[in-house]
Structure 1
Amino acid sequence: MTTSPTAGDGPAVSAPGTSVSSVSHPITLDSPEFVVDPQAHFTWLRTHAPVYRGRVDSSLVDQDVWIVSRYADCKSLLTDDRFPRSPAGGPAIASGMPDHLRLLTESMIYKDSHEHRRLRRLVAKPFTPRAIERLGQRVSELANGLLDDLEARDVVDLRTEFALPVPMTVISEMVGVDEADRERFHRGVQGLFDGMAGPEQEADHDEGAALAEFVRELIERRRSVPGDDLLTGLIQAEEQGERLADDELAAMVFTLITAGYETTYNLITNAVVTLLDHPEQLALLRADPSLMSSAVEEIVRYAGPVQSSEALTAAEDVTWHGRTVPAGSLVLPLLAAANHDPEVFAAPETFDITRGPNHHLGFGHGEHFCLGANLARMEARVALDALLRRNPGLTLAVDREQLTLDPVPMLVRYRSLPVRFG
């Protein structure tokens, strides 16, 4: 077993498309080198250091972190009681968060065992397969309505003008954000995520704080004037005599935003990029639209927007693959690395929309399996179906090399996706 090298042991990672990629150490998960070529880092980690002490250096976290990269280990880690999300004193990540983001740590994402199950039961009803199926027609209306307006244009940024408005509208309607408040809501969400992308700017902080204030206002509004929406349901819901506290309600709305908004529009964006990168697979999908569900699963495995679960914390010293992870350490299962593990997936670097079985970890595993997975899958299927069916000549409007990624820790997010319809 090779232990992790010390800093300065290698040259920076080569640009994509070159014949050799090198990995510099310590691996920093939001460094430009990692963002440019994550697969080179994933391969090195799985092969040489399946348990590795790396770093995260962002506006939220600036510290060492233990990285787990093999499929079997990641899957095991996600159900291991020795690695809770919220140990005594709260999640380790909370200490680096500004006040408006610390609210997230009150959500079920950062709760374990009984507390997690209690919160999840209260919010689960709108995410059942039957409830999601009923939303499909609304998503189709949104997608086709957007295309009606966009297809007359020469060049369209598919990310901001198509992939983003679909989940933004869906989650706004689910939560109960009135149409008059959508722009305010959207600005707050963008400020929240732009602040995560790098050193937080004052404007990002202000927008994120304004979003937290707006969410609390919305809760009070729905208490006074209930609506036919998820937030009203949460306010009125009880589980064994317990209702959600105000911070839990606000945290749940934040969770729905992050899980049902940001990741979904990036999934749609990444899907289009991946299909255009693989024209033979795109042709196969056009010839047989029944492959759409399988194609979405393969996109999640191959180019999913989320590269890791939320951070876990070692509750005790744990020795794994010859490395001892000390109690209190931050630990990240690299789901994207696991999804390319050749021990589990045949030819993992091949994008194959007919792949089966496809037991990827793109939506997590265990009790924290993504509550919104069915919603994200449905939105991606419906949006892609409308886009591809109506535009057989869809192409990039720029050279492929001009597409760039934001250095957001553990999120694959293109800055723009200029396309031409046809």
Structure 2
Amino acid sequence: MTTAAPATDHSRDPEPINMRAEDFAARPLEVIERIRAAGGSAPVVFLDGQPARAFVDDADVRTILSDRRFVVDPENVPQGLETTRRSDAMVALGLRRDLVTYLTESLLDKDGSDHARLRKLVSRTFTVRRVNEMRASVERISADLLAALPDHADEDGVVDLIEHFAYPLPITVICDLVGVPVADRARWHAWSHQLAQFDPARPEVMNEALGAMIDHVEAMITERREHPRGDLLDALVRARDEDGGRLSQSELVTLVFTLVIAGHETTAHLLGNGTRALLEHPDQLALLRSDPGLLPTAVHEMLRVGGTAVSAKARYATEEVRLERGVVPAGQRAVALISGANHDPEVHSEPHRFDVTRQQGRPGEAHVAFGHGAHYCLGAALARQEGEVAFGSLLTTYPELSLVPGRPPVSDAVPGTLRLRELPIRLRPAEV
């Protein structure tokens, strides 16, 4: 339940924090702790260049993500309240107007019945039972990739875990599930990277990637109408063709590329960030190796400290909402900083300490790495399973895995995320 906000004079706010600025992109936790120390909320310029108010405490983050007074689609804000249309904001950033529709038809961008309609079409694919049935396939893919790692090592015996394991595992799993042909998966990896790296100074890069992705999905849909294969894509095509009211053509296209991108990007960086955390904390690594039964709780801790999303999508207040750390006027936007909630000292003791036993004995998820409320991550069970399989297999296959002195991990400073571009590792001790 939301409590009344303390008297807050937002007129005394500092200059808005630019969430696309280098300091936030490269060191988001430092900025988040400054916001916490200054009162728990602050004005920001969000990733799309529009103003908002960001909140870092767990209680406020959960309220923003679950309270029905907040919506993700500004079209659902009552008339007369000042909002900026998403399409106009995207065009102002340089995106082609004919492509913008595909960025506003996503499952992630819908509220209420529209969101429930789209979610229902794919939710059965991600039930715990269906995910458990996929475990053998995930284990096989993981084993094959790990067996091939030495083939990718350089002359010093060093291999980049991001390129050769952290990315290939989840993109193979989700492409198998959705029905993306093997020959096309390298292109999906490249497209998703271009989308994540969006630079307002070079909008043509995103326009090119998004346009190519849309054309590719359209071609896959046409091919499946003639040659169905019995996978998720076939099911979505049938939902479109047999009852067009359930799914528009643009929604179908958007749903496909949203599932593929969301289904591998976040998991890939969980694997990268999680491996780095383990290797930088040898006491926790030793604890996990001595007790593999800790894998589920270890994955939760990796999600808490190294989950990919720093920030959730901005929400619009349909009426004035008084949060614990500030007020969001009707029609204005609130940003839930996921990493802020996951490092809230009121919820997580010593929040910056990495502890693979932290989740033991706690029901549910103490973190919000998968979100909260109606938009809770559809693929959470699959991501957790991939994490458990990947880390378990990695540590078993290469028990002497280590970081490489003089070759530190390379961060990928994409605003609003925690991700690595490279994670050089040595599979076995170097020969003397």
TM-score normalised to structure 2 length: 0.86
| 1:382 paired residue number | 389
Counterparts of 1:70-219 in structure 2 under 5 Å? 70-88=57-75, 92-97=85-90, 98-99=95-96, 100=99, 102-152=101-151, 153=153, 154-194=157-197, 196=198, 199-200=201-202, 202-219=204-221
Q: Does the CA contact (< 8 Å) of 1:51 and 1:321 recur in 2? A: no
Answering whether residue 19 of structure 2 is matched by residue 29 of structure 1, we say: yes
Correspondence for 2:4 = none
Contact 2:101 2:250 in 1 (8 A): no
Letter in 2 for 1:374: A
For structure 1, which segment, 98-107 or 359-368, has the greater mean C-alpha deviation from structure 2 after superposition? 98-107
Distance 1:258 1:330 in 2: 25
Q: How much has 1:169 moved relative to structure 2?
A: 1.0
Q: Which residue of 2 aligns with 1:16?
A: none
Provide the aligned C-alpha RMSD in A.
2.5
State the Cα distance separating 1:376 from its structure 2 match: 0.8
- Native 8 Å contact 1:189 1:211 kept in 2: no
Equivalent pair of 1:317/1:326 in contact (CA under 8 Å): yes
**Secondary structure of the corresponding residue to residue 151 of structure 1:** helix
Amino acid at match of 2:27: D
> Percent identity among equivalent residues?
38
Q: Counterpart amino acid of 1:274?
A: A
Moved more, 232-241 or 76-85: 232-241
Matched, 1:346 2:349: yes
1:221 and 2:208 matched? no
| 1:262 pairs with 2:265 | yes
Deviates more, 1:282-291 or 1:27-36: 27-36
CA distance in 2, matches of 1:134, 1:80: 34
The aligned counterpart of 1:418 is: 424
Deviation at 1:127, TM superposition (A): 0.3
In structure 2, C-alpha distance between the alignment counterparts of 1:45 and 1:309, rounded to whole Å:
16
Q: Structure 1 residues 275, 3: CA separation in 2 closer, same or farther (over 3 Å shift)?
A: farther
Aligned equivalents of 1:251, 1:77: Cα separation in 2: 25
The 5-angstrom pairing of residues 192-341 of structure 1 reads 192-194=195-197, 196=198, 199-200=201-202, 202-237=204-239, 242-321=245-324, 323-341=326-344
Contact 1:398–1:419 (Cα < 8 Å) also in 2: no
CA contact (8 A) 1:51 1:320 kept: no
Paired residue type of 1:227 = R
Distance 1:380 1:335 in 2: 19
Deviation track 1:327-366 (CA, whole Å, cap 9, x = no partner) reads 3323211111011111111221211111132511110111
Q: CA deviation at 1:233?
A: 1.1
Amino acid at match of 1:163: A
Q: Which amino acid aligns with 1:62?
A: G
What's the counterpart of residue 3 of structure 2? none
Q: Which residue of 2 aligns with 1:14?
A: none
8 Å CA contact 2:57, 2:340 repeated in 1? yes
1:382-411: CA deviations, max 9, x gaps? Answer: 1111111111111122547x4332232211
Displacement of 1:80: 1.6
- The count of residues paired between Structure 1 and Structure 2 equals 401
| 3-state SS, counterpart of residue 419 of structure 1 | strand
Alignment check: 8 A CA contact 2:28 2:310 kept:
no
Using a 3 Å threshold, how does the CA distance of structure 1 residues 3 and 159 change in structure 2: closer, same or farther?
A: farther
Equivalent pair of 2:342/2:368 in contact (CA under 8 Å): yes
> C-alpha distance in 2, partners of 1:197/1:375?
31
Task: Write the deviation string for residues 217-265 of structure 1: whole angstroms up to 9, x where unpaired.
Answer: 1112112221121111112248999431111111111221232111110
How many Å apart are 1:93 and its aligned residue? 4.0
The amino acid of 1:80's aligned partner reads D
Distance change (3 Å), C-alpha of 1:199 and 1:145:
farther
Structure number with higher relative contact order (C-alpha < 8 Å, ≥ 6 residues apart): 2
Q: How many Å separate the matches in 1 of 2:76 and 2:66? A: 21
- Conserved 8 A contact 2:25-2:416: no
**Separation (CA, whole Å) in 2 of partners of 1:148 and 1:417:** 18
CA distance in 1, matches of 2:27, 2:413: 12
For 2:35 and 2:119, the matched residues in 1 are separated by 33
Residues 235, 29 of structure 1: alpha-carbon distance in 2 compared, 3 angstrom cutoff? same
CA distance in 1, matches of 2:68, 2:225: 37
Q: C-alpha displacement at 1:291, in angstroms?
A: 0.5
Partner of 1:368: 375
CA distance in 2, matches of 1:5, 1:394: 52
| Matched AA of 1:205 | N
**C-alpha distance in structure 2 between counterparts of 1:226 and 1:67, whole Å:** 46
Gaps of 5+ in 2: 1-6, 78-83
User: How many angstroms does 1:319 deviate by?
Assistant: 4.1
Question: Is residue 2:40 matched to residue 1:50?
Answer: yes
SS of aligned partner of 1:309: coil
1:177-229: CA deviation from partner (whole Å, max 9, x where unpaired): 122322333333332223x2664353443122101111111112112221121
- Per the alignment, in what secondary structure is the counterpart of residue 425 of structure 2? strand
Offset at residue 131 of structure 1 (A): 0.9
Supply the AA of the counterpart residue of 2:108. I
Question: Are the structure 2 counterparts of residues 322 and 128 from structure 1 closer, same or farther at C-alpha, using a change threshold of 3 Å?
Answer: closer
Q: Secondary structure at the match of 1:307?
A: coil
Q: CA deviation at 1:274?
A: 0.7
